[in-house]
Amino acid sequence: RDVTGVQTCALPILGARLDADVRFPAGIENVFPKLTAEYFEELNGRPVYQVSAKGSGPLELELFFDRDTHNLVREIRYVESPLGRIPTQLDYDDYRNVGGVEVPFRIIVTKPSGSSVIEFDDVRDNVPIDPAVFARPSTPGTNVESPTK
């Protein structure tokens, strides 16, 4: 079923593209040309400012930035669906410096179906990865590495 020009089955992909963009929110104006600074408020006892973002598609965002550190502390993402507007909230916490970049080591994802906590013990940048890790198995249905028993 079509919702404002986007196939309903493609709606989760829009959010996944944002999640996969390691530069987000640095390049936000490319995805969401309409950005509006809404107002100042408090979030978990910290002063934040809210920015609303609207793109050409059915995806809308509310972004909350810490007024002192300027780190993104909350993202609320809305997509239109046949059932109405569906929110997904991401809370970013425990920022640490990794190679000169502040990185959240704790992310809480909350959806209508429940919530998940993602915690990182270690984050490193520019680590070499063997291309074999991404190679397809030579025979369909086989594992790259055999499980040990």
pLDDT in tens, 117-146: 999 999 998 889 999 888 888 876 655 554
Q: Is the per-residue pLDDT at 107 higher than 70?
A: yes
> For residue 31, what pLDDT is reported?
72
Per-residue pLDDT tens over the stretch 23-48: 556 667 777 778 888 778 888 888 99
Tell me the whole-structure pTM to 2 decimals: 0.72
Q: What's the confidence (pLDDT) of residue 139? A: 74
Encode pLDDT of 55-101 as tens digits: 767 778 899 999 999 999 999 988 877 888 889 999 999 999 999 98
Quickly tell me which residue has 């369909």 as its tokens: 140
Judged against a pLDDT cut of 50, whether residue 149 lies above it is answered with no
| Cα-Cα-Cα-Cα dihedral sign, residues 42, 39, 15, 84 | positive
Residue with tokens 């490193």: 124
Provide the CA 44 distance to its chain's centre, in angstroms: 20
Tell me, letter by letter, the H, E, C secondary structure of 27-40: CHHHHCCEEEEEEE
